[in-house]
Amino acid sequence: MELSPGTSPKRVVVFDYGFGNVRSAERAVARAGAEVEITRDYRAAMEADGLLVPGVGAFAACMKGLKEARGDWIVDRRLSGGRPVMGICVGMQILFASGIEHGVQSDGLAEWPGTVEPLEADVVPHMGWNTVEPPADSELFAGVDPGARFYFVHSYAVRNWTMEVTNPAIRPPKVTWSTHGAPFVSAVENGALWGTQFHPEKSGDAGAQLLTNWIETL
């Protein structure tokens, strides 16, 4: 991403709470043109132009780690002020109300309603490259080839989008879908809060374009 003369790069914090590929995310965001810091420091996370929340492993364990690092409070405070947050993989899943793993339900951040459930597919985990179906007005996928593939590694996903927007003054979220056995939510754009089930930092040129798009909105 080329900056205009005199323009400072956007500052992004990759939130380090022990459950994400922070180095991969750091390199990918830096390549997209941002100034990146890996930290769990409260002030840095609050003052950054964008907060990236990665996540790998189990839903409940990620939530526990996030709360111990006060990440739940940081995400809530940032969004209350309209400051951008982006979740990746389990970092997106924990933005929903709850997750069910091995029959046990755990609370999420509840920024969106909905439940993260086991994928309905013959082959699980869903590991490898897959296409996405974004809405026509997506900012996240602007400039991305319609046939582009993104890299997924997951056994759980949100299979039903349940959020309803009845106020005509509020723009409804833009929801992107993919299919592995059955359709599931693969990305969401909702004001200052974005998320992807796939790993943009591992998705080649398409993922790089997506991260550039996010950084340009900061």
Q: Is 201 annotated as catalytic? A: yes
Distance CA 158, CA 184 (A): 6
List, for residues 153-200, the tens digit of each pLDDT value: 999 999 999 998 888 878 899 999 999 999 999 999 999 999 999 999
Confidence of residue 1 (pLDDT cuts 50, 70, 90): low
Considering 62, 89, 111, 154, which one is annotated as catalytic?
Answer: 89
The answer to which of 15-29, 48-62, 77-91, 161-175 has the lowest mean pLDDT is: 161-175
Predicted structure pTM score: 0.94
List, for residues 4-32, the tens digit of each pLDDT value: 555 789 999 999 999 988 999 999 999 99
Q: Is 62 annotated as catalytic? A: no
Please give the mean pLDDT across all residues of the chain: 95
How do strand 182-190 and strand 50-53 relate by DSSP bridges?
Answer: unpaired
Determine how many CB atoms are found less than 10 A away from the CB of residue 93: 27
Supply the pLDDT for residue 209: 98
Superfamily in which the 11-164+172-216 domain is placed by CATH: Class I glutamine amidotransferase (GATase) domain (3.40.50.880)
Q: Is 89 annotated as catalytic? A: yes
Determine how many CB atoms are found less than 10 A away from the CB of residue 6: 5
The answer to whether 22 and 54 have CB atoms below 8 angstroms apart is yes
Can you tell me the mean pLDDT for 193-208? 98
- Check residue 59 and give left, alpha or beta (phi > 0: left; psi -120 to 50: alpha): alpha
**Domain edges within the chain:** 11-164+172-216
